Amino acid sequence: MSRFLLGALVAFFAVTGGAQPESRSVLGERNPLLAAGADAIRAGRYDDGIRLTLQGLESETVSPRLRSAALANLCAAHAANGAPDTALGFCAESLAIDERNWRAYSNRAFAYWLKEMYAEASADIEAASAIAPEAPQVRQIRGMINEKILRPTVTMETRE
């Protein structure tokens, strides 16, 4: 899978706010840097996204839940940038604030997947699935993990 596709996958689920209480417009008004960072990550401009998000976390007033979401975004952006070790740190921070942040679990699962740590990736994607079982991103990551860890066999029996 190309880095571009991996990046697109992570960024896609990192920045949307579906499960978050803050609406996109409120986020934009009160936290313009975080909103711009999320937009940059969504657009695949990870370095810009990381910079803006870090600035936003330093200068804007954010609720714990929004801080957790922003850290999960940083995790996603670093993973998409091919830096899973850095990503793991941000995901851990995100989950320390909000242990129900399924995006952080999902992003961390992706970071583990990049490091070929499939047992850890499986555990995280299960945690994400327990919170957001219908999330397409969770199913996608789980599929990527299954592709790596499951060994298919086909047994044939003749009936003649």
Partner 1 sequence: MSVAYRSGALGVLALLLGAGEVAANDAEVRPVGVWSCLMYGEAGNQRFFLELAADNSVRMARLAEAGDGVWRPLGAWRRQRGRLEFADEANGRLFVARLAFTDLGGTWRGIRDGGGWWCAAETRAADGAPPPVHRLLESLVPAIMASPNYPLGAIREAKEGRTVSCFIVMGTGEIRRPEVIESTDEIFRRPTLEAVAASRYRSWGDENAALPACRSFTFELGTDG
CB of 148 to partner 1, least distance (A): 10
Q: Could you say which residues in the range 128-157 bind partner 1, by CB under 8 A?
A: 142-144, 146-147, 149-157
What is the C-alpha separation between 25 and 63, in angstroms, rounded? 16
Radius of gyration from C-alpha coordinates of the chain: 17
Considering Cα of 142, then 103, then 119, then 90, what sign does the dihedral take? positive
Q: Which of 31, 108, 106 is nearest to 70 (CA)?
A: 31
Residue 135, helix vs strand vs coil = coil
User: Least separation, in Å, of the C-beta of 139 and partner 1?
Assistant: 8
Q: Which is nearer to partner 1, 85 or 147 (CB)?
A: 147
Q: Of residues 15-74, which lie at the interface with partner 1 (CB under 8 A)?
A: none
Q: Is 160 in the site for partner 1 (CB under 8 A)?
A: yes
Binding site for partner 1 (CB under 8 A): 142-144, 146-147, 149-160
